[in-house]
Amino acid sequence: MKKAIYPGSFDPPTLGHLDIIRRAADIFDDLTVGVLDNRAKTPLFSVEERVNILKELTKDMPNVKVESFSGLLVDYAKANGYHVSVRGLRAITDFEYELQIAQTNKMLSGGELDTIFLTTDVEYSYLSSSGVKEIASFGGDISHCVPEFEIEMIYAKYGK
Ligand code: ADP
């Protein structure tokens, strides 16, 4: 049984995240989307809201589950038997950051946690959660960025 975790903030989940989830779910028998509960940051959506949104987005994917975690990914992975972390790469700027995280996780896990990268579909290569938030905060069109049912939820956060 090949299992993997796709960790991230997903604040909010975008079509780019969903594309990575779909493709990773085709590769692994069991995929967990791990929503990071980072107490040091104030997210737009609470961790419970992000988990619920991702559960809704993946409800037709039987081998995908959604969970939240806090603390270090390596500790969560060790406690739950994950040896593979999935991350998405959009551009060379992502690569430098992601390479550092991957190597740090490899070191911290004593070599137990590997990272697999999926390159973004070009259709979504410009998408980021922070970009979506910026556009939405000015009432701009986010319909090409996030699944339809999220749109009103995001605007509501900005009183739009
Ligand atoms: P972080 O975990 O750094 O807070 P995110 O939650 O925004 O980042 O993203 C989680 C993962 O999904 C990261 O590996 C990120 O590179 C990847 N990702 C984000 N947006 C896209 C996209 N449009 N296409 C492919 N991968 C993406």
Q: What is the CATH number of the domain that holds 29?
A: 3.40.50.620
How far is 30 from 128, CA to CA, in rounded Å? 25
147 is a domain residue: no
**pLDDT surpasses 90 at 70:** yes
Mean pLDDT to the nearest integer, 61-87 = 98
122 is a domain residue: yes
Atom of ligand 1 nearest to the CA of 129: 7
| Secondary structure letter of residue 159 according to DSSP | T
Q: How many whole angstroms from 138 Cα to the centroid of ligand 1?
A: 22
Q: How many domains does the chain have?
A: 1
19 is a domain residue: yes
142 is a domain residue: no
3-state helix, strand, coil in the chain (%, to 5): 45, 20, 35
From 17, 50, 87, 133, the catalytic residue: 17
Integer CA distances (angstroms), 95 to 44, 74, 87, 131, 149, in order = 25, 20, 10, 18, 31
Contact 54, 13 (CB under 8 A): yes
Q: What is the dihedral of CA 119, 134, 144, 14, to 10 degrees?
A: 50
144 flagged as catalytic: no
**pLDDT surpasses 90 at 129:** yes
**pLDDT surpasses 90 at 92:** no
Mean pLDDT to the nearest integer, 74-85 = 98
Domain of residue 23: give its range: 3-126
pLDDT over 70, % of the chain: 100
**pLDDT surpasses 90 at 132:** yes
140 is a domain residue: no
Residues 6+ apart with CB under 8 A from 104: none
> Using CA positions, which residue lies closest to atom 27 of ligand 1?
88
14 is a domain residue: yes
pLDDT confidence bin for 45, thresholds 50/70/90: very high
Sign of CA dihedral 76, 112, 82, 115: positive
| Paired tokens of 82 | 């994950």
91 is a domain residue: yes
pLDDT confidence bin for 1, thresholds 50/70/90: confident
